[in-house]
Amino acid sequence: MEQNFQHLYDMLSQVQGFIYPNELDLQWGLLIVLYPYITGLVAGAFILASLERVFNVKVLGPTYQLALLTALAFLLVATMPLVSHLGHPERFYEILMTPHSTSAMAIFGFVYLWYLMVVLLLEIWFDYRQDIVIWSKETKGFKGRIYKILTLGVTDLSPSTIKWDDKIGYFITVVGIPSAFMLHGYVGFIFGSIKANPWWSTVLMPVIFLFSAMVSGIALVLFIYMAVSFFRKQKIDMPALDSIAKFLFYILVIDFTMEGLDQIHRIYEAEESFEILFLLVHGPLFLTLFVFQIFLGTVVPLISLGTLQLYKPSEKIRKIIYLSCSLLVLFGIFFMRWNVVIGGQLFSKSFYGFTGYKLHLLGSEGFLFSIIWVIIPFFILAFLLWLLPPWKKVGQHENN
Amino acid sequence: MSNEEIGKSRRKFIKKAATVGSLLVTTSLFTPFNAVVYAVERPKDPSKTWWGYGIDIEKCIGCGRCANACKTENNIPKQPFYFRTWVEQYTIKNDGTVKVESPNGGIDGFVQSVPPEDIFKAFFVPKLCNHCYKSPCVQACPVGATYETPDGVVMVDETYCIGCRYCVQACPYGCRYINPAKNVADKCTLCYHRISKGKTTACVEVCPTHARILGNLNDPKSPLVKFMKEHTCLVLKPHLNTGSKCFYNALSGEVR
């Protein structure tokens, strides 16, 4: 039994100042960093897709389905880090069966299911229905059987039905935009509503989460689009890529402004918690906040993408810049989640000291187990692209 | 689009927005938003109990018997990371800096690490769950496994808790931990198994200086109400509006 506590005894040496005795062990580790990260990728990718469909940004056409499938691939695993970190994962259904009406966390299951079932699955199904019916007739074997099941028995391809598919798809996207906002704004609220924690408790938290989600989702689609084109040996549609990068730049500006506003507000108000938060960002969070999140993840992409809005070098150079920026943004937003989740637990609620966090390689909260939840979505996406290749689509929705 | 058409579409938009808005307001009337929930109201009937707790900082000698008795009585893991109650030693130095210590929750007693000539003042602060009646932990629990009893004690149903740890994050006082054997949230129950049988809590029972007082806030003759009448009592972190029912005498501003 003593062995199990060894890591906690080791941790005692990392404590600086005073912490409440129960605060030594961090309650939320890497898995809970991944939860808002993955959910954010989903919301961001979806919002990019809806830009094309609802806001009629036709130039983004080549990435519409890719963005939707990316959102789905990540959404399918979004709950897994959350469920697997529970003390009693087998009781997770209680959150759906007996949700507590006053809890900010209780509604997550419903928001998630709404988004998965009503928004994403339906939108993809209506968008692909015509193709699924055609493919179910053309394809043989196992794949053909999957298509047959996916038609759900609806094989009508008359022009009026296809028009209806399109109308319903459009309607779902319209509903989907506020849903995507809700999904991630809500995740921000889970943290922002904890008044016990001054690092989390800010009314801007849902807004910051939302914009950082959009930033990360757009960066992800940008990266995946380039990667998929590379593997398929297809020429990249440069106007589409330029537009995605332009949106990434705009949203990044808003995101950075919001986060800056939050920090300026904290610094100017300098409440009771100011000293401990000052020590937090200059000590345990220095590397992950100033270097990873702000410098590499925000300032470098902002300057690079901003420059490209004024000056356009050759395609090759632009591609390299876009690729690096998308990876840097994904890296930076990961550390933004890290700084919120881990940073918020490093200081004591007594404001008199810090505990430490050591990421283990193995174990249920360890690095290897957690990283699985980031890798699996790429396999799911590969499967989805094999099953529903956007480049083989016949049916294209009209822009309403 | 002509001006007239714009006017028409504007009117349409305003009409639609008004309909949606009024629908939202109407629905919210049927299901009032109750996030700031007074989970249990103080019983109006004076014969009903409403548990509260008092701590006299002036009397605490930092012996740590309370923390030890609590661990024994409630079968709490002996490791120094799990406490339902503990004692903190506050030392205010002459230069105004504050040193706080709580080695093993005070169970093994305290050694003053600051040289006497540097000390402005020093005192002990026992801590335990504040049994708030606007509990942030009860508010946060996603399944309702944390609840308040009708007599004002915050409890955890260990057969129901999913171990999400949100309540641990929500408690401003650091009073909750995850029980390593059961993987559920754990905290002070105010020795509910004892007080509901007319006994007092383990920590109150062993306190040699009567620094800890358990009492019924609804009974004007209870020792707690008497204590609160005779002393200027404060709660911890009052700005968070948690409705704490743990009242401290001689609470210094440095204590958090």
Long-range contacts: A51-58, Cβ < 8 Å, 24+? A51/A247, A53/A169, A53/A170, A53/A173, A53/A397, A53/A399, A54/A170, A54/A173, A54/A174, A54/A177, A56/A399, A57/A243, A58/A399
Write the pLDDT tens digit of every residue in B176-219. Answer: 999 999 999 999 999 999 999 999 999 999 999 999 999 999 99
Kindly state the average pLDDT of the residues A292-301. 97
Write the pLDDT tens digit of every residue in B5-20. Answer: 666 777 777 777 777 7
Write the pLDDT tens digit of every residue in B46-70. Answer: 899 999 999 999 999 999 999 999 9
Using an 8 Å Cβ cutoff, are B118 and B130 in contact? Answer: no
Question: What per-residue string of b and e applies to B129-139 under the rule 16 or more CB within 10 Å gives b?
Answer: bbbbbbbbbbb
Q: Which of chain B's residues have a Cβ under 8 Å away from the Cβ of A21?
A: 80-83, 86, 102, 104-105, 174
Q: Which of chain A's residues have a Cβ under 8 Å away from the Cβ of B173?
A: 20, 349
Beta-carbon contacts below 8 Å between A and B: 138
Q: Which two tokens stand for residue A361?
A: 């390689």
Q: B151 vs chain A: nearest CA distance in angstroms?
A: 21
CA distances from B38 to A187, A299, B128, B147, B169 (A): 25, 46, 21, 11, 20
Number of other residues whose CB lies within 10 A of the CB of residue B252: 14
Q: Give chain A's mean pLDDT.
A: 93
B142 touches chain A (CB under 8 A): yes
Kindly state the average pLDDT of the residues B80-104. 97
- What is the model's pLDDT at position B6? 64
Of A108, A197, A350, the CB nearest to B100: A350
Write the pLDDT tens digit of every residue in A139-198. Answer: 999 999 999 999 999 888 999 999 999 999 999 999 988 888 888 888 999 999 999 999
Interchain proximity A21–B173, CB inside 8 Å: no
Interchain proximity B164–A87, CB inside 8 Å: yes
Contacts of A153 (CB under 8 A, 6+ apart): none
Percent of chain A with pLDDT over 70: 98
CATH of domain B51-249: 3.30.70.20
Helix (H, G, I), strand (E, B) or coil at B246: strand
Write the pLDDT tens digit of every residue in A246-295. Answer: 999 999 999 999 999 999 999 999 999 999 999 999 999 999 999 999 99
How many angstroms separate the CA atoms of A392 and A379, rounded? 20
Contacts of B103 (CB under 8 A, 6+ apart): B80, B110
Contacts of A214 (CB under 8 A, 6+ apart): A43, A44, A47, A48, A251, A255
B177 touches chain A (CB under 8 A): yes
This model of the complex carries an ipTM of 0.92
pTM over 0.80: yes
